[in-house]
Amino acid sequence: MSEALLREPRPGEATIDGEGAGAVLRLRGDWTLAHHAALRRQAEALRGRLEAATRVEAGELGTLDTAGARLLHGLLGGERVAALLAGDGGLSRERRALLKAVAEAIEGREDKPAEPEGSAIGDVLAHIGHTMGVFWRHVTGLTGFVGLILESALRVSVQPRRWRMTALVANLERTGLDAVPIIALLTFLIGAVVAFLGATVLANFGASIFTVDLVTYSFLREFGVLLTAIIVAGRTASSFTAQIGSMRANEEIDAIRVLGLDPVELLVLPRVYALMLALPMLTFIAMLSGIVGGMLVSALTLDISPVLFLSRIEDNVGLIHFWVGMAKAPIFAFLIAVIGCLEGFRVQGSAQSVGEHTTSAVVQSIFVVIVVDAVAALFCMEMGW
């Protein structure tokens, strides 16, 4: 059995023998947590009596733990502790190592400069700067990823044997065919709401017939493609991010690279192509459903028959409005697919990261769709389309 187990525990103490230049601080007994209260009182009483010339003798020091080492550091101060660590005072190697670790931890914490107090304006400006930095990183990352997709698309387009037709058809079914019911239902209801609101306002001016123009213009130019893109952004962009993010978390993306395959060619291009085909078709269905919803409300509340409704569309609504709405669909589809896939590749490897990037993909997709739609509306207005 070791000496520490055979020795009876003895409470620690500190005494000063002598005065002036011959004064000696003697440390005895066990400086442990069990005797912490008594040792703290002794240390507080002796701290004011220590002089610069007082020597320290620790040859009779018994057991030492971190609590006792902290008390010793507070009693002796940094300079005397450094002298003990240098070998003065008879401190054993084990106790010297413990005291050194505690001293470094205490002095490192005390030497750490306090954080300056910030002002409200400075905090706001710092937050704005951080937000702008995050936004700029998103823009540059999205731009670079778009360039990577275009480069891969051009390279694969001249090699038909590398086309992923099975993946394209599977993604086309998930993004297009499976979304038809919800797109048709929601746009039908919104078309009915728009017709009802238009009829309520226009009836006051005796212009109820213009409800037909309101519903048709809004769905052909804006509501058809915009509502479809927003629904697809919430439904499909999140799906792309979750699928690719889960593969990245399970290191399947790394396995694809190890096999010598291109993840962009294998995972991104089929999804981008499928959504660029699906969204124009869904937009066309949304336009028809919205107009049918408006037609039903007009027939029930305004006595505008379906024949008169369709005749009014044929006489007063130009085909250009249909093409303006349809032209936006592939652009929105490309942006939604790119953002969804990019956020999937940004997943770090945990379930929490998958959830965060899935949410980010939906938010970014809806934001980009609305911004691009607003810019397109201003452009078409200036062009007179």
Give residue-wise pLDDT tens across range 155-177: 888 888 888 888 889 988 988 88
Enumerate residues 6+ apart whose C-beta is below 8 A from 302: 199, 203, 208, 209, 211
Using 50, 70 and 90 to split pLDDT, how confident is the model at 211? confident
Do residues 252 and 303 both lie within one domain?
yes
Within a domain: residue 245? Answer: yes
Q: Which residue has the higher pLDDT, 284 or 25?
A: 284
Share of the chain above pLDDT 70, in %: 90
Within a domain: residue 207? Answer: yes
Within a domain: residue 7? Answer: yes
Do residues 107 and 156 both lie within one domain?
no
CATH of the domain at 35: 3.30.750
Do residues 182 and 105 both lie within one domain?
no
Do residues 56 and 143 both lie within one domain?
no
Using 50, 70 and 90 to split pLDDT, how confident is the model at 277? very high
Q: Which residue has the higher pLDDT, 21 or 126?
A: 126
How distant, in Å, are the alpha carbons of 125, 145, 171, 246, 251 from that of 347? Answer: 29, 15, 21, 8, 11
Do residues 159 and 246 both lie within one domain?
yes
Within a domain: residue 119? Answer: no
Mark which of 58, 78, 111 sits at the end of a domain. Answer: 111
Using 50, 70 and 90 to split pLDDT, how confident is the model at 21? low
Instruction: Name the packing angle between helices 351-383 and 238-249 (round to 10°).
Output: 150
Do residues 187 and 284 both lie within one domain?
yes
Integer-rounded Cα Rg, in Å, for the chain is: 38
Within a domain: residue 124? Answer: no
Do residues 371 and 255 both lie within one domain?
yes
Residue 34 has pLDDT above 70, yes or no: yes
For 13-17, 49-53, 225-229, 297-301, which range has the lowest pLDDT when averaged over its residues?
49-53
Using 50, 70 and 90 to split pLDDT, how confident is the model at 226? very high
- What does the pLDDT look like over 71-106, one tens digit per residue? 777 777 767 777 777 765 567 777 777 777 877 787
Total count of domains within the chain = 2
Do residues 102 and 158 both lie within one domain?
no
Q: Which residue has the higher pLDDT, 384 or 368?
A: 368
Within a domain: residue 274? Answer: yes
Mark which of 76, 95, 111 sits at the end of a domain. Answer: 111
For residue 90, the model assigns a pLDDT of: 65
How distant, in Å, are the alpha carbons of 57, 77, 104, 112, 136 from that of 84? Answer: 9, 11, 14, 24, 55
Do residues 204 and 342 both lie within one domain?
yes
Q: Note down the domain range covering 33.
A: 3-111
Distance between CA atoms of residues 105 and 99, nearest Å? 10
Distance between CA atoms of residues 145 and 373, nearest Å? 22
Do residues 173 and 104 both lie within one domain?
no
pLDDT, the chain, mean: 83
Q: Are 376 and 355 in contact (CB under 8 A)?
A: no
Residue from 84, 276, 254 nearest 176 by CA = 276
For 44-58, 282-296, 368-382, which range has the lowest pLDDT when averaged over its residues?
44-58
For residue 6, the model assigns a pLDDT of: 47
Enumerate residues 6+ apart whose C-beta is below 8 A from 284: 224, 326
Within a domain: residue 125? Answer: no
Share of the chain above pLDDT 90, in %: 21
For 200-204, 306-310, 368-372, which range has the lowest pLDDT when averaged over its residues?
200-204
Do residues 147 and 195 both lie within one domain?
yes
Distance between CA atoms of residues 215 and 123, nearest Å? 48
Residue from 322, 320, 299, 319 nearest 309 by CA = 299
Distance between CA atoms of residues 368 and 237, nearest Å? 12
And the tokens for 69?
């080492």
Do residues 270 and 318 both lie within one domain?
yes
Q: Map residue 17 onto helix, strand or coil.
A: strand
Using 50, 70 and 90 to split pLDDT, how confident is the model at 52? low
Within a domain: residue 118? Answer: no
